[in-house]
Structure 1
């Protein structure tokens, strides 16, 4: 019997902020429980640190350079043969979506579609919901220093969960379903109602690794973004603990809604595969920065990724994996072929507890950038949109002009730019990526080995679409580097 597929996606959720991952605050006890009952991929990465490229990678199993959606404004140009919805339609799945889309698919592609929700609005069914959305809009994507003056039922995650539960209740019990629930939080604006506002006091927020001085030390786009944010909101970093406290409170609010969603699925008697993940991370004050918009730091690139359900082993996996791997994983879970052009690798054997070939799972790549050169520190370009807020225009601080590729292998992280010097970090001793070893002669052999791995990945990610008449040799699970006999 084909399983229900439940995809729970958050937006801009930084990894490592739960008790299970060693954080001092117990932000997400229910999700931690799901992770304990399933496979917790502790080194999962986004394909790109921006919403639409990452979500397109999830749907298509392709990296941004192949699916061609490399910024948030061009989802409609996604390039692929078949995506997740096509695969599941071919397997006679009913398709249900609730929440924030920010992808190349829209309402017409689903059986039910509740939304669209975005970061300051959603479908409004009551006067309180309308008032709350207006209040959110007036926050100007900033940080509220007071509890939200509307109760939790007006919050977007609560409303999205309610919509999802309605679809679940009305879904055909005889057919398998995709239930995709996409929360806009904990993305800015950073706000929470009581009791979440007092969930952790600002003075009890654990210390960050770095402050604003680190952005200046790293220079480049980090210093550019830090100065741009300071010009937008002078002194904003003085209040970073309130911002972090709101963020942690929002994680607990999300955890409560994911629990509510899970309880509402109980009457579905089919087997189930549940996937919980984020599209990308958030600085949460590191480098004196909020949100995203500069660099390929672990704070933005690593994501939570959990697989739970029937047949999934209780385990932690340390192999570096990617959001791109989810489409082929789902293909195998529903007994459908992996579409042509897919670059990800099925994680289903790993979720079942099987060993992972080092050649295939010893490293992972990610991308950032869209044309042109990286902006100079003093540049003040028109960015990808202006928000006519209640006070003054907001320059949206996400721009990714230039191009970069990241490779994670073991404790090492390599970043190569199209127009800037390279970066090399030992993440065991330097988790904030402040000590660039790229030009250090003592690490020439490490650098050479990582550059070779990166080059192999670049060759692997050459787009094979459109199909021609020639037939490539493909190994099972799309494990292209598995030694002979290791991909049964």
Structure 2
């Protein structure tokens, strides 16, 4: 399918969710029909079931989307230092130079702020956002009271108080106010859900019954068997919230209800955008990272680089996208920025590490040498803590409050590579993991020392080293200019 000519660039609608685990929709093989509208968009476009985040944490992943760089390069390796992002030019600057009107509504958690957009509605976070009336005020106070936990009853507020509804209402108001604007628009909806607190109103609370929830791969015993950060985090949950794991089915049921609520609001906005905007629209749907959803007896994210945290939903639908594609290439959230650069005809800024997926969206094959493996990172440096250590945290060891991203789970460094059905994770404390995902999708049998996997281990280590060489930061650029390749496909330059 042809790219619209210059001057007729498509409107881009970027829908981003927070902490949405891949594979939790009927269209991606899940047993429950959680997101029928988004599944319909995906089936009409190009779906990437092997999409990965660069790091299973909000801000590092979002900075990768904006800069096309992995955290070790853009230097935002934790949620607290977005202001220190390192790059030459970000996605917003590229799109503005290409004539796009920039609109943002929702949860930011990134280095740009209100002054970087033509329209900015927010910030929305997990305990609330801009309040238009008393009911929204009371709802936000109730969210805060949940303390990022799991609600055992339906939210005692109407749908209109929920953050996704409010975000879409703000985005619709912006679209209507911009009626008559000439030129393409970049419309970014950033939902705080399905991140905890896990809650929904009726009818979503009862839409997916606890007894219908598919079985999980394993419980707390798996985290304890892994040891290290895993055992520490599971023990922290158990000590601060005794009996928390008994509610894992309710947790998952709420999570599925949140997905359906999101789906209805995405439908609401897409339909309005189609009616309000003249010209072609490209819809991109992505999440920043996944969620344990009870696997390992854990909630949220924090320890390790398991598939449930690093795989993310990703599809493109609409203008310039070949319909009905299910692409098996391994791709990254860092690939979105260079894809949009090529879409609008802008050169890649210096230091971009991701790859343009535009040829894939048009139906071209993805070379195995380029897309046969994928890499992700975790940790902000220093030494790794042991499972019995109790250093000072940004919250108390006493009481109910907990944050799974903290000094213990994030200290040190971990690097992951997946190729085919095999996966390796190396840690800075001289330990590692190797999994055969075909036989062990739950990642509980570590084969790193199994002599039967020595050849596979060698191959994965080689590929991991190649990825780490590829991602060495090229900034700042000096006098000499490195050789570049089309689409930034560095292992397939021709």
Output the TM-score relative to the length of structure 2. 0.96
- Equivalent residue for 2:237? 229
- Equivalent residue for 1:179? 187
Deviations 1:65-87 (A, max 9, x none): 00000000000000000000110
CA contact (8 A) 1:280 1:300 kept: yes
Which of 283, 300, 313 is residue 304 of structure 1 equivalent to?
313
1:450 aligns with 2:457: no
1:252 aligns with 2:269: no
| Aligned counterparts of 1:207 and 1:481: Cα–Cα separation in 2 | 40
Q: Secondary structure at the match of 1:249?
A: helix
Deviations 1:60-114 (A, max 9, x none): 0000000000000000000000000110111111100000000001111101100
Q: Secondary structure at the match of 2:381?
A: coil
Deviations 1:370-418 (A, max 9, x none): 11222211222333x3389xx9362312131110110011111111111
Which of 358, 375, 386 is residue 348 of structure 1 equivalent to?
358
Q: How does 1:400-419 map to 2 (within 5 A)?
A: 400-419=410-429
Which of 16, 20, 30 is residue 23 of structure 1 equivalent to?
30
CA contact (8 A) 1:350 1:356 kept: yes
- Equivalent residue for 2:347? 337
| Aligned counterparts of 1:361 and 1:103: Cα–Cα separation in 2 | 27
1:130 aligns with 2:137: yes
Q: How does 1:109-188 map to 2 (within 5 A)?
A: 109-171=116-178, 172-188=180-196
Which of 284, 291, 308 is residue 275 of structure 1 equivalent to?
284
| Aligned counterparts of 2:245 and 2:232: Cα–Cα separation in 1 | 15
| Aligned counterparts of 2:328 and 2:228: Cα–Cα separation in 1 | 31
1:12 aligns with 2:22: no
Which of 360, 364, 370 is residue 374 of structure 2 equivalent to?
364
Structure 1 runs not aligned, ≥5 long: none
CA contact (8 A) 1:357 1:483 kept: no
CA contact (8 A) 1:386 1:393 kept: no
CA contact (8 A) 2:241 2:400 kept: no
CA contact (8 A) 2:13 2:284 kept: yes
CA contact (8 A) 2:240 2:399 kept: no
1:295 aligns with 2:340: no
- Equivalent residue for 2:483? 473
Q: Secondary structure at the match of 2:401?
A: strand
Against the structure 1 CA distance between its residues 387 and 2, is the aligned structure 2 distance closer, same or farther, given a 3 Å change threshold? Answer: farther
Which of 381, 384, 407 is residue 374 of structure 1 equivalent to?
384
- In the alignment of these two chains, the number of paired residues is 481
Deviations 1:252-281 (A, max 9, x none): 000000000101111212222211010000
CA contact (8 A) 1:382 1:395 kept: no
* CA positional deviation for 1:209: 0.9
Deviations 1:412-465 (A, max 9, x none): 111111114111111111111111111111111111111111111111111111
- Equivalent residue for 1:81? 88
* CA positional deviation for 1:361: 0.9
1:36 aligns with 2:43: yes
| Aligned counterparts of 1:162 and 1:249: Cα–Cα separation in 2 | 20
- Equivalent residue for 2:219? 211
* CA positional deviation for 1:226: 0.5
Report which stretch shifted further, 368-377 or 236-245. Answer: 368-377
- Equivalent residue for 2:100? 93
CA contact (8 A) 1:387 1:396 kept: no
Q: Secondary structure at the match of 1:265?
A: helix
- Equivalent residue for 1:318? 328
| Aligned counterparts of 1:209 and 1:393: Cα–Cα separation in 2 | 27
CA contact (8 A) 1:312 1:351 kept: yes
1:286 aligns with 2:295: yes
Which of 438, 463, 471 is residue 428 of structure 1 equivalent to?
438
User: C-alpha root-mean-square deviation of aligned residues, in Å?
Assistant: 1.2
- Equivalent residue for 1:242? 250
Structure 2 runs not aligned, ≥5 long: 1-7
| Aligned counterparts of 1:318 and 1:173: Cα–Cα separation in 2 | 38
Report which stretch shifted further, 279-288 or 269-278. Answer: 269-278
* CA positional deviation for 1:121: 1.0
CA contact (8 A) 2:63 2:82 kept: yes
| Aligned counterparts of 1:140 and 1:382: Cα–Cα separation in 2 | 20
- Equivalent residue for 2:4? none
Q: Secondary structure at the match of 1:454?
A: helix
Deviations 1:300-323 (A, max 9, x none): 000000011112012000111000
- Equivalent residue for 1:201? 209
Deviations 1:335-374 (A, max 9, x none): 1111110000000100111011111111111100011222
- Equivalent residue for 2:3? none
CA contact (8 A) 2:486 2:493 kept: no
- Equivalent residue for 2:5? none
Report which stretch shifted further, 53-62 or 441-450. Answer: 441-450
CA contact (8 A) 2:51 2:331 kept: yes
